[in-house]
Amino acid sequence: MSYYVDLLRYLFQSKHRRGYGVHSPSVFRLITLVIEERLPYYSYFLIEKIRYLSNRKGVDVFLSEEGELFEKNKVCLAKWGQLGIAYDQILFRLVNYYKPKTIVELGTTMGFSTLYLATPNSQAHVITLSEKKEISDLAKNNFKKSSVCNILLKEGDIESNFRKLIQEQVQFDFLSINCTMLPRGFYSYCNTLLQTGSFGGVIVINEPYFGESNRDDLKKIKLHDQVRVVIDLFHIVILILDSNLQKEEFVLRYY
């Protein structure tokens, strides 16, 4: 119920369509030229064709679990519709705009968000962490269909694999978090990353209002000193860690 209460609150509080009321030039450009852009990139067609062909099998895998996985991921299932496509495509435009060299995704779904992260730049290195073998197999199959070659899927405990990346000093400048695919909240991942002192890029949190622990984590990460700009679209929240920017939060009406 809290999820829908938060959604109603968002609908009442959201504004800044087309950048109205945004005084920061960099945030204005981000909203108008990236988030609200509607140009159809060729990669969209390729990924959505794969999504169309894969959806039935994906639903069957979710429903074949003992109910627990379906209950945890029913928001994820709902996002396989048109709404999810629109938010996945924001990932593409953000990567295309910021041009990160290494991207990490926490919680692989069926691989569509991963493909949107990987296709803007074939030279970028995308690492996606998955905990469920059944979902990993679906994602790998979709990667194979796409012929995209710059994705590395690491299967196993997400937290352990993420800490290994930090310990190995893997330098990445874009982090995408799928909250519906994490066993716990997401703040510990963000805090671990920010404690390294070397991350100054972008964090995108997918479905941060899904579950009480995620909602609590969102409140904490918004207040973090290193997070300068927060753009809240409800289904995704974009955190920009640029020390040159003033600390601000925007609740943007989207879609």
Cβ atoms within 10 Å of 171's Cβ, excluding its own: 12
pLDDT of residue 253: 87
Q: What is the residue type of 105? A: E
pLDDT of residue 184: 85
172 close to 144: Cβ distance less than 8 angstroms: no
In this prediction, the residues of the chain whose per-residue pLDDT falls under 70 are: 1, 55-83
Tokens for 97?
């705009």
Reported as type and span, the H/E element at residue 151 is: strand 151-155
Rounded distance between C-alpha atoms, residue 152 and residue 90, angstroms: 21
238 close to 231: Cβ distance less than 8 angstroms: yes
State how far the alpha carbon of 62 is from the alpha carbons of 26, 76, 80, 106, in Å: 40, 10, 12, 19
